[in-house]
Amino acid sequence: MYIGAIEAGGTKTVCAVGKENGEVIDSVTVPTSSPKETLADIGSFFNRYEIRAMGVGMFGPINLEKDSGNYGRVLNTPKLAWRDFNVYDYLKKKYGVPVFLDTDVNAAALGEFHWGAAKEAESCLYMTVGTGIGGGFVKEGKPYKGKYHAEMGHMYITKHPDDSFRGSCPYHAACLEGLASGTAIKERYQESAQMLSENEKVWELESYYLAQAVVNQILILSPEKVILGGGVLKQSQLYPLVRMKIVELLNGYVHTDDIEQWVVAPLLNDQQGIKGAMALVVLN
C-alpha cells in the first residue's frame, strides 16, 4: 500500500504515489481546469494503485478550520469553478482513505523539513517567490497554524527610494508581493523576470525586498532554516545578494555568522510540494 499525494497548484496539479521514506514511485502532472475534469484525471491515475491515505497540498484560500463544518472547502479563489468545492469531502468519499490537507506552501515547507534542506532543523520557513509570494512555516515538526493560515506574502515593507513602481498587488499595491513577485517584476519592467537575468539593477532591487521579508520573519518567527524557492529564485545570483542585504539590514542586531547555512535554496528540485503532501500523511 502506498501513500497518495496531490499538489494542486493554480495552473497544474501533480499526483504521486510513494513510500514512507519520501520515495516517489510514480507521478503524473495534469492541468488544473475545472474540478470535474481535473478530478477525473486524478482518478485515472490513482485507480491504478492501492493507497492507504492521501496527503494534499492545495492552492488557497481554503477552509482549514477543523471544527467549522466546512473543512476542506475552497474559498473565494479567482478560479471560479473551484469556489465552494469541498476537496476534503470529495477525496475522502471517493477513495475511502484518511485525507490530510494543508496549503501548498505549508506542504512545501514540510517536504523540505522532512527530506530536504531543513532535515536537521527544529523549524523551517519556506518562502516561494513566483506569480505571487507565499510562505509556509514548520515548527516542532508540524505545519504552523494560527487563527488563520499565514499570508506572509502580503506583509508591508520599506519601499526603495529609487523605486517609483506603485506596486502590483490588487489589495495592497506596494506590499511584498506587490513589489517583489514575478508579476511585480513583469509590471515594473514590462518584461518577464526570466528575460532580465543580465540586468543587475533588477536583482539589486529584488534582493533588497526579499531581504526585508526574511529579516522581518527572522525578527518575528526566528526560524532555524529559511528556504527561498519559486520561479524567480531560479535566478541563483539572488541568494548571495539576499544574504548580504539581510546582514546589512539586521546590522548586528541578530547574529548572522551562519547566514550561508541559514538562508538557502530548496533541495528537493521542484518536488518539495508533492513530497510535502506525502509528509502530511507520514506526520499523521
Ligand X SMILES: Nc1ncnc2c1ncn2[C@@H]1O[C@H](COP(=O)(O)OP(=O)(O)O)[C@@H](O)[C@H]1O
DSSP 8-state code for residue 36: H
| Cα distance between residue 179 and residue 119, in whole Å | 31
Residue of this chain nearest to ligand X (CB atom): 182
Neighbours of 195 (CB within 10 A): 12
| Cα distance between residue 100 and residue 143, in whole Å | 12
Which residue of 171, 198, 255, 258 would you call a contact of Zn ion, by CB under 5 A?
171
Question: What distances in angstroms separate CA 205 from CA 235, 251, 274, one per listed residue?
Answer: 13, 19, 31
Query: 79 contacts which partner out of a second copy, Zn ion, ligand X, none, CB within 5 to 8 A by kind?
Result: none
- Does residue 159 bind Zn ion (CB under 5 A)? no
Kindly tell me which of 48 and 147 has the beta carbon lying closer to a second copy: 147
- Does residue 155 bind Zn ion (CB under 5 A)? no
- Does residue 175 bind Zn ion (CB under 5 A)? yes
C-alpha cell at 148: 488563520
Query: 150 contacts which partner out of ligand X, a second copy, Zn ion, none, CB within 5 to 8 A by kind?
Result: a second copy
Neighbours of 94 (CB within 10 A): 14
Kindly tell me which of 41 and 177 has the beta carbon lying closer to a second copy: 177
Question: Phi-psi category of 117—alpha, beta or left, where left has phi over 0 and alpha has psi -120 to 50?
Answer: alpha
Q: Of the ranges 112-120, 140-148, 232-240, 272-280, which one interacts with ligand X (CB under 6 A)?
A: 232-240
Site string for a second copy, 57-96 (x = CB under 8 A): ----------------------------------------
